[in-house]
Structure 1
Amino acid sequence: MTRKKILLATDLSCRCDRALDRAALLASTWHASLTVVHALEESPSVTDLPSWRQTLTPAQLALQQIRADMPKAPDVHVDMVVEQGDPASVLLGAIERLEPDLVVTGVARGETLGRMLLGTTVEQIVRKSRVPLLVVKSRPHDAYRNVMLTSDYSESSQRALPTALPLLPASAKISLFHAYDVLFEGHIDDRISARDAAHHRATDEGLAFVANLRANAGTGHAIPLICEYGDPGVLLSDLTHTRGLDLVVLGTAGRTGLLGALLGSVALRLLATLPSDVLIVRPTTG
């Protein structure tokens, strides 16, 4: 069996230590290799100091910090990549060369790769790479236990569960979330009946989707369906708090609604507001 590969993108801030710990935990669980990638955006300064007074280069300092921050996990093989350049370009180049099974990053808002989560770099990564992206926000104490999959019931979103399953222990609780609305609701007199009808349709379709999802993923997990009317961002934020979710799985392509919009403002808003870790999954085709 081919050994799995994990790529960790870090800006070396203390916030990204959480992503480092999660990546190391997953690498140990998977028996996977781990490559740590850091981008240097500024050109190193040139000095005329004698060699005995010259300090380490930015790249050497970055490598030194990565080695110092690495968890003591003797069963995890770690490689390091420190390159100068735009963070998105450095990361996309590393993804293309290494072909990892998963990219992991944190949510720091400082320099280099930390800015990606609230700017345009994350959109470039999601648009240009089909490798799943795990955004770590919480300090990892154990494997993921309470997981919410999001779906618009499209064929492409069927990939989310098989992608997420290797991240999860057998005891993990997995639920499926679907947000629906009512077309042309503003022009309907009996809005309550229209919402009830939409709820029944969404629930019936969701139950069939869950049955196909479990069969295609080959899992015995029971997957309760949560089908709600309203704004998906608000609903997911509420569910994350009330249900204690530690991982939300987002697809990035689909027919309509939540997943159809995830490459736009909804995705960035969820990444910025959800307190849980977020796994972003691209479809294999399309």
Structure 2
Amino acid sequence: MEPAQITLAIRSTLNTTHIIQQYMQHQNLAKRNQASRRLQRGDESDEDMDTDFSQSTGPGSVGIMVLMGQVHAVERRFWAWETGTDWWDHIVLQVWDDSQWLQNFRMCKGTFMELCDLLSPALRHKNTKMRAALTVEKQVAIALWKLAMPDSYRSVGNQFGVGKSTVGASVMQVANAIKDLLISRVVTLGNVQVIVDGFAAMGFPNCSGAIDGTHIPILAPEHQAAEDINHKGYFSIVLHALVDHKGHFTNINMG
């Protein structure tokens, strides 16, 4: 059961309990008033009043059963905005060639499928009663599209037929999966002497790597914002990367 459903069920139970308590208090108060009036008139004996008062729960129980039946008979339904996935299912996956994949996702389809296979242990989710889970391929495609294009979450969501919150979740989940499963396999120091010899053969002696960096724009932090302003005048964090003579990453740092 989803957290929202659990919360709704708890609230419904509390409301029902509160209604029942109020109903019982009203019934008991009415019976006590009735018994008090009878004592004042002297209409019935104590035995009759005890019997009548002990039976006061009868109608109350029936009323409670009817009330609970009415509460639990409410039919609940789930709904979502209607979206379309034809572009992804029938155009991208079936029509696009490698050149189109490379232009839009920065990799060919074969590399994309290999990446999905490597990330599937962390990204495969089960279907729920509310909706089917996103496939691994779609999660990776959403993340790559957002990272490759300067589009908003809403625009990417409309492109793939999902909500903007789903786009944000997919980007974070794919990034975490890459960090947990692939970084240690892709970014390695390698043999330093082989790297030095490789750069020397290219005309760069005594070189063990080529380094470069870039500024990644961010929103202004709430505290100590001045520390995150770069020399170009906007807020950013710095990413630097080191590669060997073959262009393979040997070190990545961001901060």
Indicate the structure (1 or 2) with the bigger Cα radius of gyration.
2
> TM-score, with normalisation over the residues of structure 1?
0.22
Q: Which has the higher contact order (CA 8 A, sep 6+)?
A: 1
More strand by share: 1
More helix by share: 2
> TM-score, with normalisation over the residues of structure 2?
0.24
